[in-house]
Amino acid sequence: MSKKYIRQRRTFSPTLRKDIVRLIESGKLSVAAASREYQVSSTSIYRWIHRYSTYNKKGAVLVVDKDSQSKKLERLQQKIAELEQAVGHKQMQIDYYEKFVDLASEEVGEDLKKSTVPLLRVVLRQQTNRQVANEAHA
């Protein structure tokens, strides 16, 4: 037969309570973690938060306006759309430049991605060669 122990009543000093509340407010400890660590109910911890917290006073009402929330959500969705568009544009530029390098590599007969010759010099050389060829034919 198992023995049942009656839990002894404990009291926490106000300084310890304030320290626990500060840890919770700073994000270093959650209410559940504090409850487990100090073996105290979460209800007691919430009472301490309402009593000792500088931010969360009991009876303080936080009014959340549905319109402000929906406007905020709308702004965030608009920002996401703008960023997705910018990423798509940049990806198109990258694809264009990669295709350009591939075509220039074929024309030069050298892999410009691995080449030590700067791409700009190769392009300028090709343009000069074309101009000379056009002048010779004219």
Distance CA 42, CA 47 (A): 9
pLDDT per residue of the chain (138 residues) written in tens, 0 to 9: 566 777 678 888 989 999 999 888 888 889 999 999 999 999 998 898 888 887 776 666 656 566 677 788 889 999 999 999 999 999 998 888 888 888 888 887 777 777 655 666 666 677 777 777 776 665
Q: Which residues contact 119 (CB under 8 A, 6 or more apart)?
A: 101, 104, 112
Whether the CB-CB separation of 122 and 104 falls below 8 Å is answered with yes
b/e for 42-71, b at 16 or more Cβ within 10 A?
eeebbebbeebbeeeeeeeeeeeeeeeeee
Tokens of 124: 């300028």
CA pair distance 107, 130, nearest whole angstrom:
12
Task: Let me know if 99 is exposed, middle or buried by CB neighbors in 10 A (0-12, 13-18, 19+).
Answer: exposed
Contact 109, 116 (CB under 8 A): no
- Per-residue model confidence (pLDDT) at position 64: 59
One-letter identity of residue 55: Y
